[in-house]
Amino acid sequence: METLGFLMDGFAVALTPYNLMFALFGAFVGTLIGCLPGLGPANGVAILIPLAFTLGLPPETAMILLTSVYAGAMYGGRISSILLNIPGDEPAMMTCLDGYPMAKKGRAADALAISAIASFAGSLIGTLGLIMLAPVLARFALTFGPAEYFALFLLAFATLGGITGKNPMKTVIAAALGIMISTVGIDISTGTQRYTGGVLELYEGIDFILAIVGLFAISELLFFVEARMGKGRSKVNMGKLTLTFKEIVSTIPTQLRGGVLGFIAGVLPGAGASLGSFISYTLEKSVLGKKGRFGEGDIRGVVAPEAGNNGAASGALVPMLTLGVPGSGTTAVLLAMLISLNITPGPLMFTQNADIVWGVIAALLIGNVLLLILNIPMIGVFVRLLSVPPMYLLPIVTMVAFVGIYSISHSTFDLYFMILFGVGGYVLRKLEIPLVPIILGLLLGPEMEKNLGHALILSDGDWTTLWSSPLSIGLWLVAGLGLVLPTLVGPILRRRMRNAIKEGPVSD
């Protein structure tokens, strides 16, 4: 068992007191980020990147911190779903369906507790899947040449909108914009200045961290200003914890099913955590049929989506770690951290930076235990923080973003750039241009160009090399499907998801 040995090494990295402290801190902050409205997981992780930098953390500690935040955010998303009927993040949407009715019946504490357990189970299953699948996939990915990588990057963009995405053309536009921004600066292979306009600050290109923070944090602030939701919303009472051991045991099959389905949805390109929680909820509903009282506060209706979305969250790390191709916004931000730590993501990471990869995986396992421990007794703390109105919270978050960006370079030039990205992000979001492909474009653009160049040099400028191996043809096909399928299947799936959500409030 080679993997087990690596995992043990990973534990040795993650269990040092220093790293453990950051894992705990990350888990706490992550839960906070997940439950606070207006601070999605991608946004939250993005704001923490500059801080991880300026603290001068070693790479494995920085990654452990951010992965714990990521795991924590998935836990936290459910808190506002259950108490406020507002999902803290998109995948927590399905948790509203049974979580909120449960809370209204006075079983909020039970719903929070059982969902914490389900999150733990889902995450555990997902992480175990990650441990088994990632090394295999990484070994397979070693056979990829530059042409295959080029096709793989295209596939990542094509499937990013997800199967439920609305307008695939807008994903294409967003990706193109992102890659275009990444071409600013001095060309690595020839030294030609591109789109710098002679501005010294642009010679090294546009720092994607400030672009990410601007796009997410600043545009979020503007959205809140527009929506005038500064006051926050009222929430239901917690109630007493009446969850019995028998009830927990009765949901075990649901947890297993949800976790496995979620993991699969997380690994597959174009599916993601939202679909993971949706599939596990609908499956649970059809498996249990009339025996369940879904939509009216059935405990399994809380367990299924939570296990699903946490399984998917770990699953989404598989393509990110093994191929360097993230499938979601938050994993894209994690990739940004890797790149800025000077670690080349992809299969080689498993051999060259084994301590980091396995440290992160072990941290994920430890983080889950920490999260479970944190989430049951300390739930009251998070619930109280939930009542901090956004009108105080968002300006402070924005300020922290400013401080983070400023402390990287100590130049206000970067701050203006960040504001510019924020305003641009706001306008694009209003026009329903997704921001995640822009970020992925920023991150993958240079790699894409490099691989294109290598492929063409290897083939003496013959462009057909890009689709000459069976593997690359397969990748091109899936990429094509990723663009075509949403227009065919998307409307149906979206309608189903909407219907499922509509049923909830109507029946109470």
Partner 1 sequence: MTGLGDRILGLCLLVLAVAYGWVAQQWPEPFGGTEGVGPETFPTMLAVVLVVGSLYLMIKPDADTQWPVGKTALELVVSIIVLVVYALLLEPLGFVISTTLAVGTLSWRMGAPAKSAFAIGLLSAVVVFGLFNYGLSLSLPTGLLGGF
Residues forming contacts to partner 1 in the complex (CB under 8 A) are 54-55, 166-167, 169-170, 172-173, 176-177, 179-180, 183, 187, 189-192, 194-195, 218, 221-222, 224-226, 228, 230-231, 389-392, 394-396, 398-400, 402-403, 406-407, 412, 415-416, 419, 422-423, 426, 430-433, 448-449, 452-453, 456-457, 459-461
- Residue whose entry in the numeric block shows the structure tokens 């906070």: 32
Residue (2 or 460) nearer to partner 1, CB: 460
Minimal distance, residue 268 CB to partner 1, in Å: 25
Inter-residue contact 65 to 108 (CB < 8 Å) = no
For partner 1, give the closer residue by CB, 132 or 199: 199
For CA atoms 80, 83, 87, 92, the dihedral sign is: positive
Q: Which is nearer to partner 1, 11 or 406 (CB)?
A: 406
Report the residue number, 201 or 296, with the smaller CB distance to partner 1: 201
Q: What are the structure tokens assigned to 383, written together?
A: 């619930």
Q: What is the nearest approach in angstroms of partner 1 to the Cβ of residue 19?
A: 18
Pairwise CA distance, residues 455 & 437, whole Å: 24
In angstroms, give the least distance from the CB of 366 to partner 1. Answer: 25
Nearer to partner 1, 169 or 241 (CB): 169
Sequence-distant (≥ 6) Cβ neighbours of residue 299 within 8 angstroms: 98, 102, 110, 111, 114, 247, 251
Give me 224's structure tokens: 């809140």
Continuous H helices in 376-411: 379-386, 390-409
Question: In whole angstroms, what is the distance from residue 191 CA to residue 173 CA?
Answer: 27
From the list 152, 147, 445, the residue with the least C-alpha distance to 319 is: 152
Q: How far is the CB of 400 from partner 1 (least distance, A)?
A: 7
Q: Are 398 and 406 in contact (CB under 8 A)?
A: no
* Shortest distance, position 481 Cβ to partner 1, whole Å: 18
Nearer to partner 1, 6 or 157 (CB): 157
Residue (403 or 484) nearer to partner 1, CB:
403
Residue 248: DSSP 8-state:
H
**Beta-ladder partners of 193:** 186
Amino acid at 318: V
The residue among 1 and 431 lying less far from partner 1, judged by its C-beta, is 431
C-beta of residue 135 within 8 angstroms of C-beta of residue 350: yes
Complex with partner 1: residue 142 or 188, whichever CB lies closer: 188
Between CA 256 and CA 462 the distance in angstroms is 50
55, 406 in Cβ contact below 8 A?
no
Residue number with CB closer to partner 1 (189 or 242):
189
Report residue 162 CA to chain centroid gap.
13
Min CB(228)–partner 1 separation in Å: 7
In the bound complex, what is the minimum distance in angstroms from residue 388's beta carbon to partner 1?
Answer: 10
The tokens for 174 are 């967003």
Rounded to the nearest whole angstrom, what is the least distance from the CB of residue 399 to partner 1 in the complex?
5
Give me the least distance between CB of 471 and partner 1, in Å please.
21
Element of type H or E holding 185 = strand 185-186
In the complex, least distance from residue 430 CB atom to partner 1, rounded to whole angstroms:
5
User: 247: closest CA among 310, 303, 293?
Assistant: 303
Q: Of 331, 176, 209, which is closest to residue 269 (Cα–Cα)?
A: 331
Helices and strands, number each (H, E), in the chain: 23, 2
The rounded distance, in Å, linking the Cα atoms of 470 and 25 is: 46
Q: Whole-number minimum distance, CB 3 to partner 1, in Å?
A: 37
Is the CB of 462 or the CB of 508 nearer to partner 1?
Answer: 462
The residue (of 3 and 54) whose beta carbon lies closer to partner 1 is 54
Least Å distance, CB 184 to partner 1, is 10
Say which amino acid occupies 163. Answer: I
Strand-pair partners of 186: 193
Q: Which residue has the tokens 């030609």?
A: 192
